[in-house]
Copies of this chain bind each other. A is one copy, B any other.
Amino acid sequence: MADKKLKQKRRRPDPTSDDESELPFKNILKPDQAILETLKQLFLAATTTTTAAANGASTSSSSSKPLTLSDLSLSATCREVTDLSLSAVQSTIETLILQIARSILAGNGFSFQVPSRASSNQLYVPELDRIVLKDKTTLRPFASLSTVRKSTITVKILSLIHQLCLRNIHVTKRDLFYTDVKLFQDQTQSDAVLDDVACILGCTRSSLNVIAAEKGVVVGRLTFSDNGDMIDCTKMGMGGKAIPPNIDRVGDMKSDAMFILLVEKDAAYIRLAEDRFYNRFPCIIVTAKGQPDVATRLFLRKMKMELKLPVLALVDSDPYGLKILSVYGCGSKNMSYDSANLTTPDIKWLGIRPSDLDKYKIPEQCRLPMTEQDIKTGKDLLEEDFVKKNPGWVEELNLMVKTKQKAEIQALSSFGFQYLSEVYLPLKLQQKDWL
């Protein structure tokens, strides 16, 4: 022991020294080559099953597993939107307006049939593992005091989208709002009708060329084209490539990665990017820096579908970490009409899981007590279908609610700044420790 200490002391001024040799679990790490073999199995499994889980979005599959809503014999009829080309959106709008004109000329005035986006009209479909919209619609007549404003706004939004199609440009929701502040009054109104319009036209919001601000970054073993420019994500330094706000101009994805590492937080992303973790274990690292935004969700799904790679998620061990995972996996209730395009099937929960806290001996003072609100959120999650269908997740969540402890990914820094990239993640991969 004294000998060891002395040795360590001598090594200290050497910048290449590795004073983490006595770190917990470092001794059971196998050589990288062995871990890569493990990953290869994960990779092969994903390649063969992704097509089946792809819900028909990519090439046809010989699997007998039901892929799309129409393959399922659901008691309720459900509604889904699809990606439409700009010219298809344009002609759908023109057809709709012609119908309206005819209705007006026939002396009947006009009204819109608007699919309801209320939670009573939403359904979690276990076979698809995502939330979808049922087929209830509400009538929005122009000749009614209660809906005259909303139907006028609907016409205005349709006309603006038609302009975007003609010009082939993208704008933000904020831009839309400012085209007619007097009519919209506040942005929540134009935003809500925008989602209505997507449902009415039966297309995704991205098809409307209305985009959200970008937030996510990607780095690692991926090349893709962004608006015609070829991007090599292994050559993006530490900053990484900002994920484009408009998925329809993203294409030509190519990769020699074995998996996608989905990271909740910026700090963990920075650690992995600086250590070029993707060179040691070929992967693509992606983060939305907190709450998943639409652009990152679309980008993740596109990667999963086109590259057929398994997705492993690294999130905080708290109810919000799991919630974030669920938004990537099953969709948010607000945009359930578009869940087929926004969700990524079969995301594995790699860590930090509640059981990791003891397993990896996270020091007591780096764990945080859960607040009343945290515990309530945790219990609510236990009632959610997407958690229930995964027994492993239920077990972990039960443990979290029981111990009333949470921990951030950063808690691993208590073992040294590079413990995450040098021990925790490699060990997780080696032990296939995902759920």
Q: Are B226 and A236 within 8 A (Cβ)?
A: yes
Q: Are A417 and B238 within 8 A (Cβ)?
A: no
A15 CB contact (under 8 Å) in B12, B15, B168, B178: B168
**A227: B residues at CB distance < 8 A:** 237-238, 274
Interface residues of A in 221-245 (CB under 8 A from B): 225-231, 235-245
Interface range for A: 35 or more
Q: Are A414 and B179 within 8 A (Cβ)?
A: yes
**CA distance in complex: A271, B228 (Å):** 17
A374 at the B interface (CB under 8 A): no
**A177: B residues at CB distance < 8 A:** 410
Q: Are B236 and A229 within 8 A (Cβ)?
A: yes
Stretch of A112-120, A135-143, A209-217, A277-285 on the interface side: A209-217
**CA distance in complex: A391, B134 (Å):** 61
**A228: B residues at CB distance < 8 A:** 237
Q: Are A242 and B244 within 8 A (Cβ)?
A: no
Q: Are A411 and B237 within 8 A (Cβ)?
A: no
Q: List 21 A-B contacts (CB under 8 A).
A: A15-B165, A15-B167, A15-B168, A163-B417, A167-B417, A169-B275, A171-B413, A172-B266, A174-B267, A174-B408, A174-B413, A175-B417, A177-B410, A178-B408, A178-B411, A214-B270, A228-B237, A231-B236, A238-B249, A239-B241, A242-B242
- Chain A residues engaging chain B, CB cutoff 8 angstroms: 12-15, 17, 163-172, 174-182, 211, 213-214, 217, 225-231, 235-246, 249, 266-267, 270-271, 274-275, 289, 363, 365-366, 408, 410-414, 417-418
